[in-house]
Structure 1
């Protein structure tokens, strides 16, 4: 009887060891699969520097809605540091390329009715005015009627990030994200019902309330394909 119990004990131990070894092997296999998938996803991305005018235009157009990119007007600084019109457009959008002389990436797309406001800001900045001075000057000019803020509800789309590399196949910039604002001059929390700070991730809120630059801010989202 003692020999029988000993034999049964040995069988149980061996079976347990085999089961544990099988589980360990399956787990290691799954880890390997996940690791391989991660490596594969990484190697699919072919990021290179944005180092020519064609790349500047291609990446800047990612700031525009996908259906409108083909017909946007594109302006901005070229690789030589000159502010130029890269191409004329036929729709309601103007795209502003990233400034290659600055670190990181920042491209924008805005409704054409905002061009006087945007152009005035670039002009004042070129004169050496600070951000506060530009704000105050445009505030006074909008209130006096000298400067137009465009159509109420005009939008500004921004595509930005810390990297200046992109994938030539997709024109997506490395780790760049997207946000947009809706301009409502002199709007407030009371007139819109929006909070003056986001209450949750990606929740709309109103920035610069009560001023010429009041706008609905949409916090950054990461999936550009959902635009």
Structure 2
């Protein structure tokens, strides 16, 4: 009886601790949309975390943008937004991660599925916006982040260095370059120089 009672107390305390580390849906939404262009923020669909830690839709949205709230299990702040046309690709990555697949397995599975036509990728270029910053510069009460850093990932499936004229690595800070050329996940990396 005592073991059961103490086990229940530990579970309740653990669930309460998890809930305390997860900001309210409003704060998660406010922080998540910081990564989106200003005109897309108010209507973006937002995925985040329920009080129990479950990944879920926090806001349905009414435009063509999707944003991801910060993962409360990770040390610093990292939010991202992208056009809804990229959501099947992103969702498939999340599903494979949940299945325990490693990054190489995820890459290979999605490559095969895109080539087979069972996983859709946008036909045009699509930009992922990634905003990051230190937990020390984050105000969890207001959802604001000071001294944040915004980088861009422009997906162009199967593009190459030759087709884009871009190098395979940057020669200087802020210079765009192509990563994963010739694959479903070919993308232009744009990491602005940090101040």
Partner residue, 1:83: 55
Q: CA deviation at 1:192?
A: 0.5
Q: Which runs of structure 2 are paired with 1:73-222 in the superposition (5 Å)?
A: 73-163=45-135, 165-167=137-139, 171-220=143-192
Instruction: List gaps (5 residues or longer) in structure 1.
Output: 1-48
Rg larger in structure: 1
Residue pair 1:163, 1:176 contacting (<8 A) in 2 also: no
Q: CA deviation at 1:82?
A: 1.1
For the residues of structure 1 that align with 2:167 and 2:93, how far apart are their CA atoms? 27
RMSD of Structure 2 on Structure 1 (CA): 2.1
Residue pair 1:113, 1:151 contacting (<8 A) in 2 also: no
Which segment is superposed worse, 75-84 or 169-178? 169-178
Higher helix share: 1
Partner residue, 2:24: 52
Q: Deviations over 1:40-84 (max 9, x none)?
A: xxxxxxxxx973332221111100011211111111223421111
Select 1:70's aligned residue among 36, 42, 52. 42
For the residues of structure 2 that align with 1:170 and 1:59, how far apart are their CA atoms? 9
Residue pair 1:93, 1:111 contacting (<8 A) in 2 also: yes
Q: Where do 4+ consecutive residues of structure 1 move more than 6 Å?
A: none
Residue pair 2:47, 2:67 contacting (<8 A) in 1 also: yes
Which segment is superposed worse, 146-155 or 116-125? 146-155
Instruction: List gaps (5 residues or longer) in structure 2.
Output: 1-20
Q: CA deviation at 1:155?
A: 1.0
What TM-score do you get using the length of structure 1 for normalisation? 0.71
For the residues of structure 2 that align with 1:211 and 1:161, how far apart are their CA atoms? 30
Partner residue, 2:7: none
Q: Deviations over 1:112-169 (max 9, x none)?
A: 0011100000000000000111011101111111111124201111011342652479
Q: Is the partner of 1:203 in helix, strand or coil?
A: coil
For the residues of structure 2 that align with 1:168 and 1:82, how far apart are their CA atoms? 19
For the residues of structure 2 that align with 1:68 and 1:148, how far apart are their CA atoms? 23
For the residues of structure 1 that align with 2:147 and 2:192, how far apart are their CA atoms? 12
Number of matched pairs: 175
For the residues of structure 2 that align with 1:69 and 1:222, how far apart are their CA atoms? 24
Residue pair 2:27, 2:142 contacting (<8 A) in 1 also: no
Q: Is the partner of 1:114 in helix, strand or coil?
A: helix
